[in-house]
Structure 1
């Protein structure tokens, strides 16, 4: 192999690792958000989820720009999304307002996570056609996380309704064009 070939191969590997590093940053931030939610640091959890959203956006941009989209990257991205935009926001809202509702609050929290996982699995087996089917989990997670800012104003029932609506929007069959 020529020096030029070695340089091109090395350059492509570095670009691939950049996208994967951003995806791993996303999942790490989501995991830290979960830990901080458990510890009661809800504001820090909110911040970490939004930084994870930025990392998620950047990893997709890097993969498309460098034309390094791969099946591994797609699966890794979904695993990070379920942590950062499924589990982390749901636990944040559970801690912030749903815990007083007992089993009903816990059930709706888990429903949101399950619907997010279903949405990601369906996305991974569906051919990309320039459309989303259902609300992407990243959008649902950011909406849910953003709702935390209304914590002092919202009753637990508002959070309950929001979780249920977002859950069904994620698994809905409506289609809308990707931006």
Structure 2
């Protein structure tokens, strides 16, 4: 009986760490994406941010499946999201096109990151079961990342406009239904 209880407790501890481990992988991919942007390897960065999105989805699924949602996990996920879907995509687009606008391009890059941080802070203190308030940073960051593929085809100023729109949507009060 004692061994079964010990085994059950050990399994619970392992389950608790699965989602957090997936979140740390997401974080690592986001950091590597930033490092690759700094080295000028923008396509590799795009791939890493995309993989980070996959692991972001997996960590949430694991937490719900194993019923291991925790305040710690929520905070860790938010801190990870600002790196993987705030800083990394903003720097990717900055290095791809926004740098052409000098200070204005830098400010739009910072604005995207700041609005993402505000969005995550609001998410962490608000209780909403069936919807998000404002565009989730994961969606905004993925859109910004995929825009990199359109750099050769669209005028540069359009990326400034889209960055501004995504930034404002993150801090808006629009309701986005949870999937």
Structure 1 length as normaliser, TM-score?
0.98
Q: Which residue of 2 aligns with 1:120?
A: 120
Farther off after superposition, 134-143 or 121-130: 121-130
Contact 1:97–1:155, Cα closer than 8 Å, also in 2? no
Farther off after superposition, 123-132 or 113-122: 123-132
- Runs of at least 4 residues off by over 4 Å: none
Distance 1:114 1:81 in 2: 12
Deviations 1:70-116 (A, max 9, x none): 00000000000000000000000000001010000000000000000
Count of residue pairs the alignment pairs up: 179
* Residue segments in structure 1 that go unaligned for 5+ positions in a row: none
Distance 1:61 1:115 in 2: 26
CA-based RMSD: 0.9
* Residue segments in structure 2 that go unaligned for 5+ positions in a row: none
SS in 1 for 2:97: helix
Distance 2:175 2:159 in 1: 25
Structure 2 length as normaliser, TM-score?
0.98
Q: Is 2:173 aligned against 1:173?
A: yes
Distance 1:29 1:41 in 2: 14
Q: Which residue of 2 aligns with 1:16?
A: 16
